Structure 1
């Protein structure tokens, strides 16, 4: 039976839920990151960081290594959830995490291959047991970034050292988890729930046009602005809301400007804000119809 990891909560899109634009963007990212993961679930972090930087992406990491003194999969689930929340700043959790990790642990103990839909791979070339690696998982609409999860489970007997760390037990299961946040340095698209913080900017795909939030004012090049410099209290943020409205909020969570986007009766989310190559800033519905623009 095939199993895959999925997340819930926050504002995430799991694989299989990606809109076409996100799916197309994810392919080269997956290739660049995946080329730096070997068959033993070891990530060349420096190599992945360099490769993704060449494509305009940043990479941040949270990780944990531990040995299970008893086969309590909820310990792994809780640890992974904590790392994801810390890295993405949202209450994001794994769906059915305890059962998911228990299956991986049991496969490691039984030294069996793990069957999935192509996201996991296993290796039994090392004497410690199985390695399981998972790559691309969800897309965060809030941070406009991708999450990569790398998991390793090792069942071992009479081992003094596991993952390079002295082990107090002579048999059991150890795990290693790495959570990566891969974000475009200057995104060209914000989906609903997306946030642009002060002094952050969006760039058109060709890099020629920039939309920037600075001192409470949102502007596109020198052609258009909201005329809200220092309006309200700092810090300010620009939010692409679930109702298709683009809104600037001040530090007291009061709106200082809004696009007043009008959605049609049959408009469908997710809505997105795009900084285009022609210099136009446009809000689109899922079907591609423009709902608001600066021109």
Structure 2
């Protein structure tokens, strides 16, 4: 009798497990639909189109590696890579440095911390919007606020967004200005460092700079690494600011021709979807390489509790 009752219990347990699995799959169904219908499906379609000649009006024609070999002789592509790499390598370190500096100041117990944190975080929410890009173009225009401020001290300004030598710099300043998101993350990381470490260092005679170098910076390296990876990926995908400031041309003289903007021009301006798909996958490879290098290098400068 005990064997029969044990068998019935096992069968009931298996039946309950199957019912739970079915319920779990039912609730996961929208996620699977989104994964295959919105993410993986379009990605695989884009990968196929990168090996075709396709202009949205006719069926795609398989062309092999033609789109990929065209990249070797595309001067505007090379220019867009130069502009994008310059933007990433200059704006991301400046943005993180400013975010860390302000996080250190706010971590000292400033009155109204919640207010300052909200104010500093606000640009990160709206920095990629069309409205801010239009405002930025106005501020740095010939009759903008920057030139009006310079005129007060007798300096005749220029059209910062209309000069090839300064147009990219204005977009770098815009990206640095959106430091709020990494600053909040830095601030959270600083709050996790035990105060006892600083007290022990003060007893040993360590000054603020030495405490920062030997305590704060090493313990904050995981947060720095996290922000670095996120902001590099975000910077490579920058599009709205350059599109609005340059009117969609990447000018003047292709000085703001970001990679994503050039991809948009080829895909939706010239309807060269096959080539645009190849450009999209090249961007994925570039971001993947940067991310992989960051993870590989992290073992030399990122320190964890263990």
TM-score, with normalisation over the residues of structure 1?
0.24
Higher percent of residues as helix: 2
Q: Which has the higher contact order (CA 8 A, sep 6+)?
A: 2
TM-score, with normalisation over the residues of structure 2?
0.24
